[in-house]
Amino acid sequence: MNPKYEAAFKPFTFRSGVEIKNRITMAPMTNTAAHENGEVSDEEVAYYQERAGGVGAVITACTYVTRNGKGFPGEFGADSDSLIPSLRRVATAIQEKGSKAILQIFHGGRMCPPEELLDRQPIAPSAVAAERDDAVVPREMTADEIDEIIKAFGEATRRAIEAGYDGVEIHGANTYLIQQFFSPHSNRRTDKWGGTLEKRMSFPLAVVDAVRKAVSDHATKPFIIGYRLSPEERENPGITMEDTLQLVDKLADQELDYLHISVGGFWNGSIRDDNDETSRVVMIHERVGDRVPVMGVGMLRTPDEVMSAFETGVPLIALGRELIMEPQWVQKVQAGEEEKIRTTLSKKDQKELAISDKMWEYYTGIPGWLPIV
């Protein structure tokens, strides 16, 4: 291995006590390949196993904590004890290759496609549609439903523990339910769950509490709790960076193992102000990095680009599309073979890369997302 990359391959120990063998993780990416009943498919298991081994940890695609939170076709579930054997298949496939397995837990809220829901009715903090062409008006959640979904995040965490995972990542990003409670666009409530910035933080913090309690009650060994967030929203009113800095201050006090900052590119500035080019990942690291580790992600394709991100002091980096195209990305860097890293995706590579037909259709259906040749 080229000595200039050695810093990325030092072990990292989380607050919980879990150690990963290096500082590179696989980012959570939807793959739409599960069965209709929420069980993982053989193709998904193979996909994860192919990409485990090199990275320190694999963060799975999001799993719904209640059936009315299913946000994607082919999403696998964590809403029932009957799915624990299914969840265990993914954890085992990852761990057998030498990486830690982290289950991302999620509710889609108003972003759930109606056709994926049993009653075809998305729910959300308030009856306000997202700003997109095909958006439907969600039904405002009752106080009891809010309590039930908070508990469901705890129950999904228990199932992850019983399935043998090394941790969970709470999906509080990308406009889904947890972010919807934090957003002044989607949360117009006037009860204890909405209104002021402090009240809009109540649901995210309650979910964190439920997850932490599940770990305290059920885990018999160290267990990772991560939290993913999006720093800003384009909508007005919407989440501002000032809002997020107050949220991360609160999250930094919650004994989390990391904050995962969901952005299009590690170096990207504001999506609300084109004149503000300061990296949102770096801003959050500078704000709370001395209290909670920050994980950066986004458009870091080469080993040199990854190292430039590490030079900011951010201790963890997640790779997404890079590992779709090159499952052996980490191993090739370690072997000094970075020039052999595949940087494009081709139909002829599909089988070798353990990408099912459903995954291929999904990945290639997002214009410009992958460099396809």
64 belongs to the catalytic site:
no
Look at residues 195, 258, 242, 286 and name the one whose alpha carbon lies nearest to residue 18: 258
Tokens found for residue 231? 């720093």
Tokens found for residue 29? 């990416």
Residues 6+ apart with CB under 8 A from 264: 298, 299
- DSSP state at residue 42: H
Residues pairing with 227 in the sheet: 170, 259
Tokens found for residue 187? 């949360």
Residues 6+ apart with CB under 8 A from 297: 27, 260, 261, 262, 263, 266, 281, 317, 318, 319, 320
DSSP assignment string, 151-197 = HHHHHHHHHHHHTT-SEEEEEE-TTSHHHHHH-TTT----STTSSSH
Name the catalytic one among 48, 64, 165, 176: 176
Residues pairing with 229 in the sheet: 172, 261
At CA 241, angle to CA 209 and CA 302, rounded to 5? 90
Catalytic residues: 176
